[in-house]
């Protein structure tokens, strides 16, 4: 889960400025609660990549995530695209997010996911920054080719990223279905809502058949079809609002068929 408010997506950044975030209705508490309820029904524990801007504003939802045994990981502070930020700004944003999350958790944050999967070939330096700040794993790479994100030749399985100084950091990429020479993005965000259900189930079964863990990624706001509509561009509104009423049923089906767990467990197993 990427925990953020419904108005913080990049598709709306031209109409909802960051200095206006506080003026919008917060729906994060009710949306996280719906997510937690779904997890309870299936006995699922997961990783909640949490935007620290949201966490620092309080709310019992953060404590409930922890109390129920889920993992809290970092989604940054201000939801900025990494390759637009640059290395120094990213390091500052990451440090700020880590301090806020850890102060509420009382323990270390070990995982990270970049906003909009923005670790690309133009921001590979992010791995060094993550390692410098003590992170053990990342889950930002989408092994597909897209204009704004993706590393199309990245492995479709967990792997170690080797840094220039010999250190390594674990990478848990998003999931993709191999169709010959082409990779289809599956089980994440708008793709989960827009593509036929059988593609997501087929992709995860193919991962299981090879003994590879798949990653399913959604946002709590994707379980909120009644959220206020923002007057963004056509493409932004289409990808943000289409299929919101399908999300909960899709997750319910996936959780019924497959076993899930937090990424920290994979990282711990890799380190063992």
Range of the domain at 79: 2-271
pLDDT of residue 130: 98
The dihedral over CA atoms of 52, 58, 60, 64, expressed in degrees to the nearest 10, equals 20
Q: Which two tokens stand for residue 238?
A: 């289409």
CATH of the domain at 240: 3.20.20.370
Chain segment 210-238, per-residue pLDDT in tens: 999 999 999 999 999 999 999 999 999 99
DSSP assignment of 122-189: GGTTHHHHHHHTT--EE-----S--SSS--TTS-SS-EEEEPTTS-EEEE-PPPEEEETTEEEE-SBH
Q: Which strand (E) or helix (H) includes residue 48?
A: strand 47-50
Quote the percentage of the chain above a pLDDT of 70. 99
- At 196 the three-state DSSP class reads coil
| Average confidence (pLDDT) over 107-124 | 97
Quickly list DSSP for the chain: -EE--TT-SGGGTTTS-GGGGGGSPP-HHHHHHHHHHHHHHHT---EEEE-HHHHTT--HHHHHHHHTTPEEEE--SS---HHHH-HHHHHHHHHHHHHHHHHHHSS---EE--GGG--SGGGTTHHHHHHHTT--EE-----S--SSS--TTS-SS-EEEEPTTS-EEEE-PPPEEEETTEEEE-SBHHHHHHS-HHHHHHHHHHHHHTT-----B--GGGG-TTSPP----HHHHHHHHTTGGGHHHHHHHHHHHS----HHHHHHHHH-
Residue 266 binned pLDDT confidence (cut-offs 50, 70, 90)? confident
pTM (two decimals):
0.96
Average pLDDT over residues 176-202: 94
- Of 23-37, 69-83, 91-105, 256-270, the one with minimum mean pLDDT is 256-270
Alpha-carbon distances, residue 10 vs 87, 92, 93, 163, 252 (angstroms): 20, 20, 17, 29, 27
Confidence grade of residue 272 (pLDDT, cut at 50, 70, 90): low
57-102 pLDDT, tens per residue?
989 999 999 999 999 999 999 999 999 999 999 999 999 999 999 9
What does pLDDT average to over the chain? Answer: 96
Average pLDDT value for residue range 253-269: 92
Q: What is the pLDDT of residue 271?
A: 66
Model pLDDT for residues 118-166, shown as the tens digit of each residue: 999 999 999 999 999 999 999 999 999 988 999 999 999 999 999 999 9
Res 73: pLDDT: 98
Residue 203: name the closest of 222, 179, 231, 181 by CA.
179
pLDDT for 268 beyond 80: no
Question: Tokens 């053990």 correspond to what residue?
Answer: 136
Q: What is the mean pLDDT of residues 255-263?
A: 97
Query: Would you state the pLDDT for residue 41?
Result: 97
Domain tally, the chain? 1
CA 259 distance to own-chain centroid: 18
């Amino acid at each position: 889960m990427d925990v953020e408010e419904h108005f913080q997506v990049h598709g709306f950044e031209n109409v909802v400025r960051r200095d206006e975030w506080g003026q919008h209705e917060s729906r994060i508490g009710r949306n996280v609660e719906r997510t937690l309820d779904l997890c309870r029904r299936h006995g699922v524990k997961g990783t909640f990549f949490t935007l620290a801007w949201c966490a620092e504003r309080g709310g019992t939802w953060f404590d409930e995530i922890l109390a129920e045994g889920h993992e809290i990981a970092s989604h940054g502070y201000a939801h900025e695209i990494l390759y637009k930020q640059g290395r120094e700004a990213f390091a500052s944003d990451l440090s700020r997010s880590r301090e806020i999350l850890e102060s509420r958790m009382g323990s270390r944050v070990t995982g990270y996911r970049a906003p909009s999967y923005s670790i690309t070939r133009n921001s590979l330096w992010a791995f060094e920054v993550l390692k410098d700040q003590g992170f053990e794993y990342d889950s930002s790479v989408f092994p597909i080719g897209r204009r704004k994100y993706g590393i199309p030749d990245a492995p479709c399985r967990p792997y170690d990223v080797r840094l220039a100084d010999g250190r390594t950091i674990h990478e848990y990429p998003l999931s993709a279905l191999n169709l010959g020479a082409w990779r289809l993005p599956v089980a994440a965000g708008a793709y989960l809502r827009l593509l036929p259900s059988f593609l997501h189930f087929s992709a995860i079964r193919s991962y299981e058949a090879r003994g590879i863990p798949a990653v399913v990624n959604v946002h709590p706001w994707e379980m909120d079809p009644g959220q206020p509509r923002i007057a963004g561009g056509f493409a932004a509104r289409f990808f943000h609002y289409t299929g919101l009423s399908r999300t909960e049923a899709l997750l319910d089906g996936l959780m019924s068929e497959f076993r899930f767990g937090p990424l920290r467990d994979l990282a711990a197993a890799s380190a063992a």
